[in-house]
Homo-oligomer: A and B are copies of this chain.
Amino acid sequence: MASRSHDTSRLDNTLAVIRSLRDKGPVARVDLGTLNGISSATVTSISADLLQQGLISERPPDMPRPNERGRPKTLIQLAPEAACVICIKLSINELQLVVGDYAGQITHSEHHSIDTLGLSQEALVTLLKDKTAAVCDLALTRHRRLAGICLAVQGVVSSHSGTLIWSPALSFRNAPLAALLEAHFDCPVLLENDANCIASVLATQPAYADHPNLVVIMLGYGIGMSVLIDGKPFLGANGSAAEFGHSKYQPGGALCACGKRGCIEAYISDYALYRQASEVIELPAGDSAHPSESQMQALTQLALQGQPEAQRIFAEAGRALGYGLGNLLTLFNPDLVLITGSGVRGYPAMHDAMQTAIDEALVPELVGSTRIASCPWDRDMTCLGGIAMTLQATDQQILAG
């Protein structure tokens, strides 16, 4: 009993050291001890093991700062080549494959334009296997092993069972994608909602660390949402919680990609904005049902430059967003709502109407002290989150060798 408990605590301390190195970059041993509340002797012993396993390396101390006393300290850092993970991001008409090293940094990224809605389940799985195998071959020239894969998907997934329940990017449903890839690649495969990947990255940022009840809304072709409660992702009974896009703005209203009417998504997503605009404004030629980034940028520019029809469309979207956020405030009472995603480009054109709608919808007691803010969009954020989640899920396995 005593030795098992000793082993457990040694393992926990080792994992804590690895995670600190991943979060902070190179750190001196003494600071690792302070960060994790463990003794210097333990850190020294753990880092000796990790050095021997090739999971960390030492690097020369930074130059001392002018008013720092004593000899500069040797830093330790994760060895990027020790392992890699692959994050596959599947969204409408696009597949992104990213390699993350053992330190959690992106070392390779590629995008493929794909007619995702035209794929059968078999065709998708074959495609994922082929593209991932090619990226894996490349990655293994630079990393010692593939530790795991994360498939980050727009839509409803059950992370627990690894099943894709429903995605606006795909025409089939209820597919056990994680198990199919796991059998092929012989490594753990995580299936995650893309918004949850992003929330897991945002939650570690110092600016948001004081907001354990965080809602992240992703604007774009579809509308994503992630809820952190006391810092942990809230998934609901089957993983289909937090589907903000399909909460309702107007019963019986505009047609949504899900086939139902009146969803928030049917007013504020890229396709909804473009659909309305194409009825009243002359827009560049292109697929108006699945507008591209450049099509959306052109439309957004019109609104921001004061074209009245475009302004009206974004204001109506802002009103729908405001009513939707009103429901989130009354139901979740979060500390902070962060609005991001590629569609955040249009947020300035929605903001005032959104604020007016929230004030119209809720008494001040229900708005409470929740802060609503936007956050610049970085298209790699989903993959950074997927990489971090996969490394965290496989750290113990990597340690075991």
Contacts and interface: CB of A to CB of B under 8 A. Distances in A.
Contacts of A334: 236-237
Given A236-B334, A237-B333, A366-B240, A248 B156 contact: no
Nearest to A214: B237
Interface in A358-378: 360-363, 365-366, 368-370
Contacts of A247: 326-327, 330-331
Nearest to A213: B237
Q: Identify the interface centre among A242, A248, A252: most chain B CB within 10 Å of its CB.
A: A248
A368 to B, nearest CB: 5
A246 B363 CA distance: 9
Nearest to A165: B365
Given A229-B229, A260-B360, A260-B361, A246 B366 contact: yes
Contacts of A328: 331
Q: Identify the interface centre among A237, A249, A335: most chain B CB within 10 Å of its CB.
A: A237
Nearest to A328: B331
B365 A166 contact: yes
A234 B213 CA distance: 11
B258 A363 contact: yes
A64 to B, nearest CB: 41
A251 interface: yes
B243 A234 contact: no
A177 to B, nearest CB: 15
A363 B155 CA distance: 13
Contacts of A331: 241-244, 247, 327-328, 331-332
Given A236-B213, A363-B260, A246 B156 contact: no
Contacts of A248: 323, 326-327, 361
Contact of A332 (B165, B236, B335): B236
Interface string A319-354: 100010011101111110000000000000000000
A-B interface, 8 closest residue pairs, ranked by CB to CB distance from nearest: A236-B333, A241-B333, A243-B330, A166-B365, A237-B335, A247-B327, A213-B237, A240-B333
Given A173-B365, A259-B363, 11 more contacts: A156-B366, A174-B365, A237-B333, A241-B330, A241-B333, A246-B330, A246-B363, A248-B323, A248-B326, A251-B360, A260-B361
